[in-house]
Amino acid sequence: MRRAVPAFVLMVLACAAQTSPTWAWGATGHRLIGLAGAQALPPELPAFLHKPETIAALGELAREPDRSKGSGNPHDSDLNPGHFADFDDQGAVALAPAVALSNLPSTRAAYEAALHAAGTDGYVMGYLPYSLMEGWQQLAKDFAYWRVEHWALAHAKTGAARRWLAADLKLREQITIRDLGYWSHFVGDASQPLHVSMHYDGWGNFPNPDGFTTARVHGPFEGEFVHSFVDLQDVKARMRAPADCGCSIQQRTQTYLGATLSQVRPFYELEKAGGFKDGDSRRRPGRRARRSASAIPPCFPPTWRPARSTPWGRCKARTEDRRTAG
């Protein structure tokens, strides 16, 4: 069974969260990641995403996937594994060594089939990579519909059409804001080393020649620790400039998760050296928080630009076709 980690210690809603599984970063961390990423969105994106009220909403929406936990089953058993993926030290799924992070199956169905062949499944091992990829694709679709309706509103022939399109465009913007905030939560989860490793809450029952802790470190690290030692300005001041790799969302996801996985051993080395004890100057998880916030802006030109040719509607027309329809 999956872990039950008290990750919201001394956080907002701490009492409820202490009995919930697989929390990442807590309310503070996810809000910071959502806000920092939203404030750094590229200027080419539509103006509604740059409004102060939208940015504030994105910070709060980044917490939403965790806040819905504890709803009962099938909700929890279906959705909670989307927050993590248990990879081993070689970058393969822990109980399915043939499934490598560097070459994930292109669909979740294929991923599940590969895990089933190894005697496990995504509900045990987690399916965080697909939460990232599916959320990105949903945003591309949102932007495609926004482009179409924005064009159609400017070319509407009647007052009735303009009124309907204006209302529907406003609704599309609300949907896009929700989808962006919700997706940014998983960008944050994917930057937390303990959310991408079989060593998710202490080193566990694995060979441990370096004597890393087997204590439950997951919750205290992402909860009280982040709440006490990270703020928005710290994250923003150290964010990387956006960079577009020109690659697919699957390659971006694999690279991003691989970078996070590489921080698992440094995390345990720092813990062993006392870096998380009171008074130690190394008690700074901000690097991981700013990595996740930095990951949000670079994804958006590739999400926004393919929206020009993303199929929309039941007739599978493409946005670029509608814009040139005259």
Summarised one tens digit per residue, pLDDT across range 155-204 is 999 999 999 999 999 999 999 999 999 999 999 999 999 999 999 999 99
Quick one: how far is CA 279 from the chain centroid?
31
Q: Which helix (H) or strand (E) holds 5?
A: none
Alpha-carbon span 152 to 161, nearest angstrom: 9
Nearest CA-CA partner of 11 in 30, 34, 33, 36 = 30
Per-residue pLDDT in tens (0 to 9) along the chain, 326 residues: 333 222 222 222 222 223 333 345 778 889 999 999 999 998 989 999 999 999 999 999 999 999 999 999 999 999 999 999 999 999 999 999 999 999 999 999 999 999 999 999 999 999 999 999 999 999 999 999 999 999 999 999 999 999 999 999 999 999 999 999 999 999 999 999 999 999 999 999 999 999 999 999 998 888 888 888 778 888 888 787 777 788 899 999 999 999 999 999 999 998 999 887 765 545 555 555 555 556 656 665 567 766 666 665 544 555 554 443 33
Residues 170, 177: Cα–Cα separation, whole Å: 11
Structural fold of domain 14-86+126-323: P1 Nuclease (1.10.575)
201-249 pLDDT per residue, tens: 999 999 999 999 999 999 888 888 888 877 888 888 878 777 778 889 9
Please give the structure tokens belonging to residue 322. Answer: 């509608």
The C-alpha R_g of the chain, in whole angstroms, comes to 21
